[in-house]
Amino acid sequence: MSIKIFIVDDHYMIVEGIRSLLQYQKGLEWMGHAMNAASCMAYLQQQQPDVILMDINLPDKSGIDLCKEVKSKYKNIHIVGLSSYNQQSFIQKMLENGASGYVLKNATREELVDAIEMVMEGKIFLSNEAELTVQKNDNSKTPIITRREKEVLLLIANGLTNNEIALKLFISITTVETHRKNLLAKFEVKNTASLIRMATQCQLI
Amino acid sequence: MSIKIFIVDDHYMIVEGIRSLLQYQKGLEWMGHAMNAASCMAYLQQQQPDVILMDINLPDKSGIDLCKEVKSKYKNIHIVGLSSYNQQSFIQKMLENGASGYVLKNATREELVDAIEMVMEGKIFLSNEAELTVQKNDNSKTPIITRREKEVLLLIANGLTNNEIALKLFISITTVETHRKNLLAKFEVKNTASLIRMATQCQLI
DNA sequence: CAATCAATCCCCTAAAAACAGGATATTGGG
DNA sequence: CCCAATATCCTGTTTTTAGGGGATTGATTG
């Protein structure tokens, strides 16, 4: 029985490219594609593929979120993340949200087919380069910050002072100072400039 | 006579996708593709296409540089930039370096064909969204800063205090403060956090 | 249940940055 | 050569951060 493949990507060229790469591959059945998260979910109500190739960047919501949503409703669907960015944080988040693999958009046909077959066997597949990235950045410098801290961080990035943040969040200025203190500690920096810089690099802003 | 098309992109999926999109389009002839700048230049020594679709991000050099190189040797080749990023700075640099058009990777077949035909007529083609970006950011908010100011900006971004910057640049701390003051004024922000944020957005950091 | 973590609040001091309002060389381009 | 822009320096005041101590509450969780 063929493995049923579905693609979610808003780039025609990618969709066409994958279709073209896979079309004469036996054992695979092309079910179609969606260009955004909403139509993907709508499609899944009618039919379920075995494997979804899913772009990280969709117009209506991030592939990372969509991944979670799909997996929570359809446990048997295997998801392979698809992206041109070889960024550790994305890879990790996709896997945390239930993805079984991650393929870069410069993958070859062989890599793509491998990925599909491996995730069907319940294994994890990562593109060569993606795997390297994970290893290289595994002891990632991105600190774990709490929800509140992130909130404060964003407001700091927007140029608000501690006082303004306090007013906005209905908390004491001393609390804001504490959050800020913790952020500086977690990012291992000693002032606002570095904080914003690091946070930007960690794509938290 | 058919328009001869050549593609430079290191993503198989994109190359396949474009080939697939254009293969039954009459009036177009697919010449082949290169996966990097070097093999593109090598190919051009043998044969010259009419239009090159060129990715912005290549493994060995940026499409922006390759664009310049190709145009300096082969004036008659029309170049269409190809990218998933809809970033004004890239678009502008491609055009400055002799590109005739810029297409996003989520373009439809029609858009792609339009682009190719338009640039062959010597016109400029920009994807709808790319055009919007150019317009929106044309009166760009990126302020003009002096060499010294940029130097100071970078050091600020690296987390140095005014004092440390003063020591490093062999200038008085008051001078650093002045530069900082001017930076805040030019970026129209009122503290370091916003400054670093804006500077990052303007890709100055 | 004890322990941990998140979020809140407080005090204190010193350092740093923001803001105001100047001045003075230097220099490159019209 | 002159002017405008750049870079430099100054003296103030006020606001904001950084960094050092804490403490309390509530939720989560092994």
Q: Is A56 in contact with A85 (CB distance < 8 Å)?
A: yes
How far apart CA B160 and CA A141 sit, in angstroms, is 20
Closest chain B residue by Cα to residue A107: B12
Q: What is the pLDDT of residue B8?
A: 93
Q: What is the pLDDT of residue B140?
A: 57
Q: Letter for the amino acid at A43?
A: Y
Q: Collect all residues from A whose CB is shorter than 8 A from any CB in B.
A: 10-21, 57, 84, 105-109, 156-159, 161, 189-197, 200, 205
Q: In what order do the strands lie in the sheet with A3-8?
A: A28-34, A3-8, A51-55, A78-83, A101-104, A125-126
Q: What is the pLDDT of residue A137?
A: 47
Q: Is B82 in contact with B53 (CB distance < 8 Å)?
A: yes
Q: What is the pLDDT of residue B138?
A: 44
pLDDT of A139 over the 70 cut: no
Q: What digits encode the pLDDT tens for the residues B86-140? A: 666 677 778 888 889 888 888 888 889 999 999 999 988 888 765 555 555 444 5
pLDDT of A133 over the 60 cut: no
Contacts of A17 in chain B (CB under 8 A): 11-18, 20
Give the ranges where chain A is alpha helix by DSSP (H): 12-22, 37-46, 63-73, 88-96, 109-120, 128-136, 147-157, 162-169, 173-187, 192-201
Q: How far is A105 from chain B (nearest CA, A)?
A: 6
The tokens of B127 are what? 């994807």
Give the mean pLDDT of A160-171: 93
pLDDT category at B45 given cuts 50, 70, 90 is very high
DSSP assignment letter at B49 = -
Q: Which helix (H) or strand (E) holds B13?
A: helix B12-22
Give the mean pLDDT of A15-43: 91
Give the mean pLDDT of A55-67: 85
Q: Letter for the amino acid at A153?
A: L
How far apart CA B37 and CA A128 sit, in angstroms, is 22
Give the C-alpha distances (Å, rounded to integers) separating B65 from A68, A192, B10, B71, B96: 40, 35, 16, 10, 11
| Partner-chain residue, chosen from B11, B18, B156, that has the shortest CB–CB distance to A193 | B156
Q: What is the CA radius of gyration of chain B?
A: 21
Q: What is the pLDDT of residue B95?
A: 83
pLDDT category at A40 given cuts 50, 70, 90 is very high
pLDDT of B42 over the 90 cut: yes
pLDDT category at A12 given cuts 50, 70, 90 is confident
User: Quick one: which of A201, A187, A194 has its CA closest to B158?
Assistant: A194
Q: What is the pLDDT of residue B120?
A: 93
Cross-chain Cβ contact B14/A14 below 8 Å: yes
Q: Is A36 in contact with A60 (CB distance < 8 Å)?
A: yes
Q: What digits encode the pLDDT tens for the residues B142-194? A: 788 888 998 999 999 999 999 999 999 899 999 999 999 999 999 999 999 99
Give the mean pLDDT of A24-42: 92
Give the mean pLDDT of A176-185: 93
User: Quick one: which of B133, B59, B121 has its CA closest to B94?
Assistant: B133
How far apart CA B122 and CA B120 sit, in angstroms, is 5
Q: What is the pLDDT of residue A86?
A: 65
Q: What is the pLDDT of residue B61?
A: 83
Closest chain A residue by Cα to residue B59: A106
pLDDT of A37 over the 50 cut: yes
pLDDT of B48 over the 50 cut: yes
Whole-structure pTM value: 0.66
The tokens of A41 are what? 């979910």
Q: Collect all residues from B whose CB is shorter than 8 A from any CB in A.
A: 10-21, 57, 84, 105-109, 156-159, 161, 189-197, 200, 205
Q: Letter for the amino acid at B85?
A: Y
Specify the range with the lowest mean pLDDT, choosing from A42-56, A137-151, B72-86, B156-170: A137-151
